[in-house]
A = this chain, B = another copy of it.
Amino acid sequence: MKVKFRKPEPPPEFQDVIVWAAWLYYVDQMTQSEVARELGVSRASVVNYLQEARDKGIVSIQFDPGSIENTLLSQQLRTRFGLEGCTVIPRTQTTEDLVPRLGKAAARTLSQMLQSGDVIGVAWGKTVLAAAQSISRTSLGNLTVVQVVGSIPGTVDFSPELCTSVLANQLNARCMNFLAPAVLSSRSLCNELLEEEVIANQFQAIRSSRIILFGIGDIAAESTVVRSGFMESDLLRSYEQQGAVGTIIGRMLNAEGEQVCTEMDHRMIGLMLEEIRPIPCRLAVAGGIHKLEAIRATLRGGYVTHLVIDFETASALI
């Protein structure tokens, strides 16, 4: 029978084994086996510690923003649409899902622009959620994440609330959810609600954001706006007749990037597109060739300062 030992020693010097392991591995560049020997645990545990160190943001891998913005397309898009930053993610031969890839790229861009004390507005969408999920934890403090679009009918797995809470959770930030539906049945009810203090506060927070993160949607019959139940397809058609080609932050815009309004817009709670311009960093993330026109319109409208896009769509834009 095997003899039992008590733990070799309760780590006296480093309160946190995780940090200890991470240091020996990433800084001193020991192998995991060596680290295991040092700490007196099995190598498999070291693997777990290191995983945790990455999850907790104790170690993080930074990608030099300069290098990725050096690509031809990024430069062209920046000049053409007056962007401050533009990340064009490489295409892959195996057409794997763009959404998580765009999400990761957006998450990196967002991390890099984050500062302590920031207020971050968040819209919604598959890509936005993907970004929220894959952002790495940060040690920055005093962050606030604000939901920019109210709740939407129907159940989708990437609702505005979810996007906001996931991001807040990952960043260890205060989370301000929007306590109202995005669309109401009457204009008067909508106006009444806007008087409410909670709502007014929410708008105040949104307007004070330094950063806003949003996706860009197209308005085809199979697009997200329709399938999520945000908008009936006949209503969508009326927007289309007025020239709408895409949607951001719950509003519609035409090919020139101007907001297209119908009766519905007056019973919606949310920003008008003009209102996002004062926000200093406006990070849009979108990709896929079917969104081409919607993206072009958004860029023309000048709503974006930083863009994350895929190679193919970026090429098509130029």
How many angstroms from the CA of A61 to the CA of B64 in the assembled complex?
11
Task: Please report whether the interface of chain A is mostly helix, strand, loop or mixed according to DSSP.
Answer: mixed
Q: Which residue of B lies closest to A8 (CB)?
A: B93
Give 1 or 0 for each of A87-130: 1 = CB within 8 Å of chain B CB: 01111111000000100110010000000000000000000000
User: Of A23, A59, A71, A105, which is in contact with the most chain B CB atoms at under 10 Å from its CB?
Assistant: A23
Residue among B16, B91, B104 making CB contact with A67, cutoff 8 Å: B16
A274 contacts chain B at the CB level, 8 A cutoff: no
Taking the nearest CB of chain B, how far is it from the CB of A158, in angstroms?
A: 21
B-side contacts of A14, CB under 8 Å? 71, 90
A38-B93 in contact given A22-B63, A27-B63, A59-B62 (Cβ < 8 Å): yes
The yes or no answer to A154 lying at the interface (CB within 8 A) is no
Which residues in chain A, 262-318, are within 8 Å of chain B measured between CB atoms? 311, 315
| CB pair A60 B59 closer than 8 Å | no
Could you say which residues of chain B place their CB within 8 Å of the CB of A105? 27
> Hey, which chain B residues are within 8 Å of A242, CB to CB?
none
Whether, in the assembled complex, A68 has its beta carbon less than 8 Å from a beta carbon of chain B, the answer is yes
Q: Is the CB of A13 within 8 A of B90?
A: yes
Find out whether the CB atom of B59 lies under 8 angstroms from the CB atom of A139.
Answer: no
Q: Say yes or no: A311 contacts B13, CB within 8 Å.
A: yes
Whether A70 is near chain B, meaning CB under 8 Å from some CB there, is yes
Contact of A24 with B by CB under 8 A: yes
A24: which B residues are within 8 A, CB to CB? 90, 92
Complexed CA–CA distance, A178 and B265 (Å): 70
Instruction: Give the number of times this chain occurs in the complex, counting copies.
Output: 2
Interface size class of A (residues with CB under 8 A): 35 or more
Q: With a 10 A CB-CB cut-off, give which of A19, A73, A105, A311 has the most chain B CB atoms.
A: A19
CA distance A24 to B91 in the complex (A): 10
Of all chain B residues, the one with the shortest Cβ separation from A137 is B64
Contact of A15 among B15, B63, B71 (CB under 8 A): B71
A237 contact set on B, CB distance < 8 A: none
Q: Encode A210-249 as 1/0 by CB contact (under 8 A) with B.
A: 0000000000000000000000000000000000000000
From known contacts A28-B104, A72-B15, infer whether A62 and B62 are also in contact, taking CB-CB under 8 Å.
yes
| A67-B19 contact in complex given A27-B105, A90-B24, C-beta closer than 8 Å | yes
User: What is A's interface to B at a CB cutoff of 8 Å?
Assistant: 13-16, 19-20, 22-24, 26-29, 37-38, 57-64, 66-68, 70-73, 88-94, 101, 104-105, 108, 139, 311, 315
